[in-house]
Every structure is written in C-alpha cells, then in structure tokens.
Copies of this chain bind each other. A is one copy, B any other.
C-alpha cells in the first residue's frame, strides 16, 4: 500500500491543465517512481479549462480554500502574477504546506522572503518549472553539479525571442514581421515587452545565478537589453563572420563581482548552443570540475512545464513518504515496480536503412535492385548514383530506404547480393530520424 500524498492545485491555465493531465494519464507510473499514491484532492480555479477534464475532482472557485484546506499536503501555485500568488504561497507555507510553483516572476522578486518563510515553517518550496520549462536545469545545478564551483552559465531562456531570431536568420525576415507572426502563433503576447525586452529572461537568470553562486535573488541588479533593435543586416553579417546572434542570459563569476546580464550576443556558429533554434531553450553551464555541460528542451508549453511541476511533486512525495535512506530507488522505480519486459530481437527491430552497393556499370542494374526491394515492400526514399571513376568498371549506388524490419531487409540484401551485376557485399547502416 503506497502512502497518500495529497496535492491541491491552484490555477487551471496552460500549465495547470498540463499538470493535471499528466498526473491523470501517467498516474500508475508516477506513483511507482514516487513510492507514493499522489492524489489531487482539490483544484482551485476561477474558471474551467476546456483542455482539461476535471470531472471527479473537487473544484473550488476560491484558491485560498486550497491554501487553508487542512487535508492538502502540497499546494501547487500555477495562477501566475505576483500579488495574489505571493499571498497564496505565504498562506500555504504558514499553514505548513509544501509549495510548488512555476512562477518565475514570483521567485525572482519575492524568493528571498518566501524561502525564509518556508525555512521557518519547515516546509519546502520547489520551482523547477520556473526556469526553462521542461528542462530539469534547477536539479542539474543544485544537485547534479554540486561538486563544482560554477564559473559561468549562459542560457537561451526565452523561447519567443529565440523563435524571432531564428526566423530572422533562416529567412532573412525583419524583426517586426516575425514578431507579428509569433503573436499570431501564440508564442508572443499582444504586449511582447516581457519577452522581447529581456525581462522574462532576467527573471530566470537571477534564479539560475543564485543556484550557481549561492547568492540571494537580485532581480533589480540584472542588466537587460532587448532584441528589438537587431536588424536583418546584423544577423547576416554575423553569419558571414562565423557567428550567430542569440538572446542570452549570462551569469559569470568575474574577479570583482558577479555579472548578471541579458542581451543579444554573437556566439561562434559551431558551438552547440548556437544551433538551438525556434522556441527551444538551452542552458550551458561551465563548472570547474565538469567543464561545459548543456541542457536542452522545450522552454514552455502545457505538458513540458507540467513535466517539471510533476517532477517537483515526485521529489516532495519521495521525501515525505520514502524511507529516507532510499529516497530515490536505485533504478528510479520502487523494487516492486521493476518488471521484466520482452526485449525485441534485432530481427524484429524496424528502422530505415542506408545501403551502398558496388554495381557493374550497365543499364538495368538499378531496376533489378528496385524490383527486389519492392518485392519485400521496401521503398527508396533517396538515392545517389555516381559515374564510374576513370578506369573502374563499378559504380557506387547509394540508397535510403523507408522503415522496414531488419529481417526483411536482410533477406532483400541476400537476393541483391546474388545478382551478377552486384560485385561486393552490400554496406548497410541503420538510419534514425530521432524526432
């Protein structure tokens, strides 16, 4: 019998609905990882959300009912804003509840006060979802890199800004033009100031800097410069010089103090982070022991952000209910939940294939090869055929196939290799789209 952990969720917007949907869909898996029976016992929301079926849940229109509900162990604040949200979080803390929030503005502005209140009451405040959406970057810095003196970090931590800069580069479009599209797509707000002037990124940057350097949150000391003045010409010249322009949040330990700054930045095009495009986020962290490490993923959206909220719920649940010396089981699932599953023999695995053949330079070879592949239900997605080199009679024939079972492909290759016009074993390398 798993011990219950009783969760109250406040706010049923994008992230709230994502969180509820994940907890519902993956309940058995999440409980097996948490070692607890995670129950949503109350949802506080001013209105329903069509993206979230809340039938079966206790709903209240008064979020403070959740903060004052004596049965709630963990309050999840997803209402946004900083005024009511702060009051809600402090009420929950004063009532002895653990708090989880996705609210970067709240933490950036009032984190110092909120953390002190939580310490005084002996409860946890978790906020993985406040920075870089679904990327577990807070856990990485706070725990995964705990051995390191962090030298600097640099992040693409505003998806809207990165989408705009990516479109400007890929299509040579102007800032204003792409901004309008981003607004139409719902990536940017009607008033885009928070995104394009670097304010949203500044909220996230001060949180990362405090984790990296052990300093209080200092939102008023961040230098921010927006991307509104970047011209298409600068994007193109940067490219010509071997650079890309990215809107970065940068925190660095310098000799005389800490640098905290958000601004458009030219970075060498060959750096991995220069290739993070569209609305995706990434954070590059340089530790003295580990060197550079990078964390990449979706920086916003219902379920990516909900993924981080739920990981915080699992963290709190593991702490509340698990044997403290086994907070996280070795394989991440309680021993009773580690279950054998069939492992597919390679014959049954399906992938696409790259094939290279050495063929006699005569008409009709390609047709024979294509006929054999077709007999096995394999189609050709791309092809390179080169002329024979001076003095050679064989020509290379390179094919990409569609996805097909390994065994079927092997049988087709045997038949191809038995053709008179094919002179060497067929080279075969698997292809994965990784989408």
Query: Given that A257-B341, A290-B297, A344-B258 are contacting pairs, would A432 and B266 also be in contact in the complex, using a CB cutoff of 8 Å?
Result: yes
Chain B CB count within 10 A is highest, among A144, A288, A327, A349, for: A144
Complex CA distance for A125 and B325, rounded to whole angstroms: 10
Query: Given that A147-B22, A384-B240 are contacting pairs, would A215 and B340 also be in contact in the complex, using a CB cutoff of 8 Å?
Result: yes
A214 at the interface (CB under 8 A from B): yes
Query: In the complex, which residues of chain B have a beta carbon less than 8 angstroms from the beta carbon of A237?
Result: 354, 356, 384, 396, 398
B341 touches A241 (CB 8 A): no
A139 touches B142 (CB 8 A): no
Q: Per a CB cutoff under 8 Å, which of B223, B248, B261, B314 touches A143?
A: B314
A284 to chain B: closest residue by CB: B434
Chain A interfacial residues counted at CB < 8 A: 141
B143 touches A354 (CB 8 A): no
Complex CA distance for A284 and B298, rounded to whole angstroms: 13
Q: Per a CB cutoff under 8 Å, which of B272, B303, B342, B382 touches A296?
A: B272
B250 touches A432 (CB 8 A): yes
A333 touches B214 (CB 8 A): yes
Complex CA distance for A432 and B303, rounded to whole angstroms: 33
Q: Which of A322-365 contact B (CB under 8 A)?
A: 323-328, 330-333, 335, 337-346, 348-350, 354, 356
A432 touches B240 (CB 8 A): no
B143 touches A342 (CB 8 A): no
Q: Which of A70-126 contact B (CB under 8 A)?
A: 98, 111, 115-116, 118-119, 122-125
Chain B CB count within 10 A is highest, among A223, A306, A307, A427, for: A307
A8 at the interface (CB under 8 A from B): no
Q: Per a CB cutoff under 8 Å, which of B135, B324, B382 touches A319?
A: B324
Query: In the complex, which residues of chain B have a beta carbon less than 8 angstroms from the beta carbon of A418?
Result: none
B330 touches A261 (CB 8 A): no
B339 touches A243 (CB 8 A): no
A287 at the interface (CB under 8 A from B): yes
Q: Per a CB cutoff under 8 Å, which of B23, B266, B342 touches A431?
A: B266
Query: In the complex, which residues of chain B have a beta carbon less than 8 angstroms from the beta carbon of A435?
Result: 292
Query: Given that A266-B430, A332-B141, A434-B284 are contacting pairs, would A354 and B238 also be in contact in the complex, using a CB cutoff of 8 Å?
Result: yes
A142 touches B307 (CB 8 A): no
Query: In the complex, which residues of chain B have a beta carbon less than 8 angstroms from the beta carbon of A432?
Result: 154, 248, 250, 265-267
Query: In the complex, which residues of chain B have a beta carbon less than 8 angstroms from the beta carbon of A260?
Result: 343-344
Quote the shortest CB–CB distance from A347 to chain B (angstroms).
10
Complex CA distance for A29 and B99, rounded to whole angstroms: 27
Query: Given that A140-B139, A256-B342, A258-B341 are contacting pairs, would A264 and B429 also be in contact in the complex, using a CB cutoff of 8 Å?
Result: yes
Query: In the complex, which residues of chain B have a beta carbon less than 8 angstroms from the beta carbon of A342?
Result: 256-258
A122 to chain B: closest residue by CB: B325
Query: Given that A296-B294, A341-B215 are contacting pairs, would A119 and B335 also be in contact in the complex, using a CB cutoff of 8 Å?
Result: yes
| A contact set with B: CB distance below 8 Å | 18, 22-23, 25-26, 29-30, 32-34, 98, 111, 115-116, 118-119, 122-125, 127-128, 134-136, 139-149, 154, 210-211, 213-216, 218, 221, 223, 229-231, 233-234, 237-238, 240-241, 243, 245, 248, 250, 254, 256-261, 263-268, 271-273, 275-276, 284, 287-298, 303-304, 306-311, 314-315, 319-320, 323-328, 330-333, 335, 337-346, 348-350, 354, 356, 382, 384, 396, 398, 400, 427, 429-435
Q: Can you report 5 residue pairs joining A to B where beta carbons are below 8 Å apart?
A: A139-B139, A214-B337, A215-B340, A215-B341, A272-B272
